[in-house]
Amino acid sequence: MEAMANTSARPWTRPHDWAEFVLGAVLALSPLWFDTNTAAAWTMVVLGALIALDGLVSLARPGLVSGELAQIVLGALAFVSPWVMGYTGFEAVAWTSWIVGGLTVVLGAAAYPVASAAHRAAGQH
């Protein structure tokens, strides 16, 4: 358990934060690969960039618990965006949003206890 706490507290080592970064990049770049409209493209680029940026912040500061909470919120926004922004008709980008959003929420929920442990280990009350 001690080895896990030390690893989770070291910057640039947590796999779920790397996965968050990659998922954000995929979401942000997917309008380049798929047919879309302007609202969908901007939504995906902005949310994807924010998810990727949050992943980088979490990688650099592993004890930042608020980063995991932001990840969950951003993932939920990505998941509901096809309905809210009206791009469910563009199946490829809609499915990309649903999959990336869902995975981002799951990763954020899984990373929350790890970030909390790193936060406590670093003495950042």
Instruction: Note the pLDDT tens digit of each residue in 46-70.
Output: 999 999 999 999 889 887 878 889 9
Compute CA distances 90 → 11, 40, 46, 61, 105, whole Å: 38, 9, 18, 37, 22
Which helix (H) or strand (E) covers residue 124, if one does?
Answer: none
Q: What is the pLDDT of residue 1?
A: 43
- Kindly tell me if the per-residue pLDDT of 6 is higher than 90: no
Quote the CA–CA distance of 77 and 20 in Å, as a whole number. Answer: 14
Which residue range is the domain that position 102 belongs to?
Answer: 2-121
Q: What is the pTM of this model?
A: 0.86
Quote the CA–CA distance of 123 and 106 in Å, as a whole number. Answer: 26
Quote the CA–CA distance of 8 and 58 in Å, as a whole number. Answer: 11
Q: What residues contact 110, with CB distance under 8 A and at least 6 apart?
A: 16
- Kindly tell me if the per-residue pLDDT of 34 is higher than 50: yes
Residues 72, 105: contact at Cβ < 8 Å? yes
Q: What is the pLDDT of residue 95?
A: 97
Residues 44, 50: contact at Cβ < 8 Å? no
Number of domains in the chain: 1
